[in-house]
Amino acid sequence: SGKKVGVLVMSYGTPQSMEDIEAYYTHIRRGNKPSPEQLHELTSRYEAIVGGVFPLRENTDNQVAGLQNALASEHDDVEFVCFQGLKHAYPFIEDGIEQMAQCGITEGVGIVLAPHYSTMSIGSYNKRAREKAAEYGISMTFVDSYHLHPKLIQALTERVERALGKFGEENRSSVRVLFSAHSLPEKILELGDPYPEQLLETSRAIADKAGIENWQFAWQSAGQTATPWLGPDILDVLRTLAKEDVKRVLVCPIGFVSDHLEVLYDLDIEAQQLAKEIGLHLERTDSLNTDQLYMQTLSDAVWKQYGELT
């Protein structure tokens, strides 16, 4: 095979152990330690989720391996070598770049395991990677988003179709589909951030492909800070729908690509509990995890972006 190209695969990151939650939370809060109450609250959310305490770690490991396989099977002319770089946990984004440098890599592509661009999400991952790569003289290019890739839309549409089946064929048209993503502070709007529009574009593409008219978009997992976050929040939307006599709701968290706290707790425990209280039948689409169509989406996006380097 030909030349070696590094691929920095970036993801949010999760604690390595119960003892590590405080350091993780402090990193998310840009160096501000959480109060004992806040730490206790987050710890109990991790304890409550099914599928292991920190499922995001294994899921990210598997996705990185899946992308490595997809790239290797699709390209003989270039040897792509994947490195992991996490935003808030070890191995940090900077560690991934350092490992690339240690392997003698001089060219790289960066991609985040989240499909939609925001300055506060993808933008900040890419900025950190770009700065570290510059220190090592690695020339890098970055994928900004892949929210309309046909294979991603197909994978998500298949999941929506499958989950709709859980309500019974006769009820399909009465199901309200809620596409959701992580909320961000409203101030992103002032900067013309593409995040909300990209999320609507993904939602529309899935709805069109599945022939769904009965859908809307909702935000989830907003932080508890003094500044306003993008709304409406999914819990408020569920309350409104129950008042409007909607009985069946399917949530499709398009902003997330694997099973982790924001899906397994915020949707499967918190939203599910509310739904039960207010008489809604709530289902959720399965996460992408290592779905082959998703792995191919990532591989295609990396290949296309690599073209920018050469």
Q: Which residue ranges make up the annotated binding site? A: 12, 29, 45-46, 125, 182, 262
- 118 vs 305 by CB, closer to ligand FEC: 118
Of 56, 93, 140, 246, the one binding ligand FEC by CB under 6 A: 56
Of 70, 105, 114, 230, the one binding ligand FEC by CB under 6 A: 114
CB of 219 to ligand FEC, least distance (A): 10
d(CA 305, CA 146): 11
Restricted to residues 267-286, the positions that interact with ligand FEC (CB under 6 A) are none
Query: Does 12 help bind ligand FEC (rule: CB under 6 A)?
Result: yes
CB of 158 to ligand FEC, least distance (A): 22
- 39 vs 65 by CB, closer to ligand FEC: 39
Of 4, 27, 29, 130, the one binding ligand FEC by CB under 6 A: 29
Stretch that binds ligand FEC, among 134-142, 202-210, 255-263, 283-291 (CB under 6 A): 255-263
Stretch that binds ligand FEC, among 147-155, 158-166, 254-262, 285-293 (CB under 6 A): 254-262
Convert the chain into a string of H (helix), E (strand) and C (coil).
CCEEEEEEEEECCCCCCHHHHHHHHHHHCCCCCCCHHHHHHHHHHHHHCCCCCCHHHHHHHHHHHHHHHHHHHHCCCEEEEEEEEECCCCCEHHHHHHHHHHCCCCEEEEEECCCCCCCCCHHHHHHHHHHHHHHHCCEEEECCCCCCCHHHHHHHHHHHHHHHHHHCHHHHHHEEEEEEEECCEHHHHHHCCCHHHHHHHHHHHHHHHHCCCCEEEEEECCCCCCCCECCCEHHHHHHHHHHCCCCEEEEECCCCCCCCHHHHCHHHHHHHHHHHHCCCEEEECCCCCCCHHHHHHHHHHHHHHHHHHC
Of 255, 271, 283, 305, the one binding ligand FEC by CB under 6 A: 255
Query: Does 48 help bind ligand FEC (rule: CB under 6 A)?
Result: no
Of 60, 63, 121, 157, the one binding ligand FEC by CB under 6 A: 121
CB-based contacts of 100, cutoff 8 Å, min separation 6: 6, 8, 81, 83, 108, 133, 136, 138
d(CA 85, CA 12): 9
Of 128, 147, 149, 182, the one binding ligand FEC by CB under 6 A: 182
Of 7, 8, 42, 188, the one binding ligand FEC by CB under 6 A: 42
Query: Does 4 help bind ligand FEC (rule: CB under 6 A)?
Result: no
Of 5, 8, 14, 155, the one binding ligand FEC by CB under 6 A: 14
The site that binds ligand FEC (CB under 6 A) totals a number of residues, namely 19
Residues lying near ligand FEC in the complex (CB under 6 A): 12, 14, 25, 28-29, 42, 54, 56, 114, 121, 182, 184, 223, 225, 255-256, 260-262
